[in-house]
Structure 1
Amino acid sequence: MWCLPCVEELPYIQEYANKNPNVEVILVSMDFPKDIETKLKPFLKKNNITTKVVLLDDPDANSWINKINPEWSGAIPFTIMFNNEKRFYYERSFDDLQDIEIEISKNFNK
């Protein structure tokens, strides 16, 4: 299922999405398609995750990692924050809601 650091930061990402309904937050699941109904959906429901979730089901990571960011090692969690002008990549987890808000403020509210 999901990596532990990914699971630990999900409540903060959901909290940010709840506080900022004007910001589109999308989670990317790398689960196997066969596990969507039996594992992914129950996990999201149990953890009250209501943000949009898309499935990345291409098992050939080498075909898409460099397209996302050539400097990305492929490690997760991996977060992309962007608007029409800027794009920032984070190859780490967020410790709490404030951690997310600090990064957004630092990079987008200048």
Structure 2
Amino acid sequence: MALKIRSKVALMALVGVSVFSCTEKKEQPEVTKSYVPKPLKVYSAGGVSVNAYDFNGLEHFLNKKNDTTYVVNFWATWCVPCVAELPHFEKLSEKYKEDKIKVLLVSLDMAKMVESKLLPFIKERQLKSDVVLLRDPDQNTWLPKVDSTWSGAIPATVIYNKDSRKFYERSFTYEELEKEVSNFK
């Protein structure tokens, strides 16, 4: 009797491993393609929400290898030139929403000010582009990972696609921004 039970257990284990292996092989590519890092925290208020990431989570958004051009702008609500150029990124995002151009606004606001400043700012300005919060105090580690030449000044923007990447530590007019993006098409 014990031998028969062990054989059934072994058979069940073998079948379980086979089913698991087949299932894993089928699901693996789908999980990889749609991977999005889990945020450290999600802030929500007034119908607006923002995902917060440390740099390890944000890095995913800076290194995608597909047929889309990404425009990643680093900014903060307290940065006057950043706020002045935000409408240009919004206009670019709206104009090219049917094309493979994606705008991501990375807020460098302090975490303690997200609910009192950032979320109301997003709602007030009716920002339509994706906004995430970079919550990683070790800028000496992550700044050179964004670009080795970045002093840390904002606004700063990375425009990239699978073939090319360029970093800008400056403000843009709409015309300048659109011209730079056109170089990536």
Tell me, yes or no, whether TM beats 0.5. yes
Deviation readout 1:62-105 (Å, 9 max, x if unpaired) = 0100111111111111000001100011110002x211111122
Deviation readout 1:35-83 (Å, 9 max, x if unpaired) = 2222101111111211101111111210100111111111111000001
Partner of 1:101: 178
Query: 1:1-110, aligned counterparts within 5 Å?
Result: 1-21=77-97, 22=99, 23-95=101-173, 97-105=174-182, 107-109=183-185
Taking structure 1 as the reference length, the TM-score comes to 0.90
Report the RMSD for the aligned CA atoms in angstroms: 1.2
Relative to its length, the structure with more strand (as a share) is 2
Taking structure 2 as the reference length, the TM-score comes to 0.55
- Comparing 32-41 with 85-94, which one deviates more in the overlay? 32-41
User: Runs ≥4 in structure 1, deviation > 3 angstroms?
Assistant: none
Larger radius of gyration: 2
% same residue: 47
Gaps of 5+ in 1: none
Size of the aligned set, in residue pairs, is 107
Gaps of 5+ in 2: 1-76
Per-residue deviation, 1:7: 0.3
Distance 1:17 1:51 in 2: 7
For 1:10, what is the secondary structure of its paired residue? helix
Which amino acid in 2 is paired with 1:3? C
For 1:108, what is the secondary structure of its paired residue? coil
Q: 1 or 2 for the larger relative contact order (CA 8 Å, sep ≥6)? A: 1
